[in-house]
Amino acid sequence: MEGAYKPGWFARSTGLIVALYLVLPILIVLPVSLTDQRFLSLPRETLSLQYYRNLFSSPEWFSSILQSFWIALGSTTLAVVAGTLFAIAAWRLDRRLVNLMRALMLLPLIVPSIVYAIGLYRYFRWWDLLDRVLGVIIAHGVTAIPYVVITVSTALAAFDPRLEQAARGMGASLPQLLRWVILPRIMPGIVSGAIFAFIHSWDELVIVLFIASRDVFTLPRRIWDGINENVDPTMAAVAVLLVVFTVLLLLADLTVRKKRDS
């Protein structure tokens, strides 16, 4: 902003302090995970990897990680397919009824998950989907649809509709049109949506607390139990791995966006 005032010392230092408040508490789990003590604390004498060894040699943590991964993969697939098709059709049709349907798609972002979770707790008993991986995939997939609809709609906003008309004019069928004209153009939006849908399922706790009991024990549920029962530094090691994993996914998303913008 040439010629305008540069932000003063007050604005700059407040902004900086808030940024530290946002980032530092998350970073603190790294030194704690390397502690040589037997309880949650900073390392005293030396750095130790014992809690990472704990984590990787524990069959419970391993099976939870694996289960969360498959559930996230399944629900992401569900959300990406349904959400992408919906976003494309809604963009093409663009009329009142469709916009109402689009508003409906956003409900999972607005309604608190506790309300949905208690609803499913009853509803899934009737469908015999309680404590089943399939049930969790459906619940996470449905609640991830809005992320995909949003990112794909944003990508479509930059799509030139004349391309579609031209393809139609040359006799392309609907599947051909999707496969060869529309999908390649909006791929970055779809990938972004998939990444957010994956993180959503991977981190989701509230729904799982209600619809899972013995057989489905996802990673967030195990962390939740860990925090509520015995707070030992293995949790800090888990937290570090999760932070690293999320940051990697976000960097992947930034790369995709950069490609789209250039």
Partner 1 sequence: MFPKGMPRNAGWWALLMPAFLLLTVFYVAPILQVLSISFTEPELGFGNYERILTNRSVQRTLMTTGRIAGITTVLALLLGYAVAYSVTMASERARRWWILCVLVPLWISVLVRAFAWVTLLRRQGLINDALMGAGVIQEPLELVWNEFGIIVGMVHYMVPYAVLPMLSTMREIDPRLMTAARGMGASRWVVFSRVFLPLSLPGVVAAAVLVFIFSLGFYVTPAILGGGKTLMVAEWISVQILDLIRWGFGTMMATVLVVTILVTLGGFSRVVNMRKLFGGGG
Cβ density class 122-148: b for 16+ within 10 Å, e for less: eebeeeebbebbebbbbbbbbbbbbbb
CB of 53 to partner 1, least distance (A): 20
Q: Does 18 contact partner 1 by CB under 8 A?
A: yes
Q: Does 63 contact partner 1 by CB under 8 A?
A: no
Nearest to 147 by CA among 188, 197, 219, 108: 197
- Please say which residue, 49 or 157, places its beta carbon nearer to partner 1: 157
Please select the residue that binds partner 1; options are 89, 166, 183, 252, rule is CB under 8 A.
89
Query: Binding to partner 1 (CB under 8 A): which residues in 143-172?
Result: 143, 145-146, 149-150, 153-154, 156-157, 168, 171
Taking a C-beta distance cutoff of 8 angstroms, is the pair 193, 117 a contact? no
Stretch that binds partner 1, among 1-9, 49-57, 58-66, 69-77 (CB under 8 A): 1-9
Q: Does 187 contact partner 1 by CB under 8 A?
A: no
Cα distance between residue 115 and residue 117, in whole Å: 5
In this structure, how many other beta carbons lie within 10 angstroms of the beta carbon of residue 51?
A: 21
What DSSP state is assigned to residue 215? S
CA distances from 11 to 3, 17, 19, 20, 132 (A): 18, 10, 12, 14, 51
Query: Binding to partner 1 (CB under 8 A): which residues in 188-217?
Result: 199, 202-203, 205-206, 209-210
Stretch that binds partner 1, among 44-52, 53-61, 69-77, 122-130 (CB under 8 A): 122-130
Please select the residue that binds partner 1; options are 74, 188, 193, 220, rule is CB under 8 A.
220
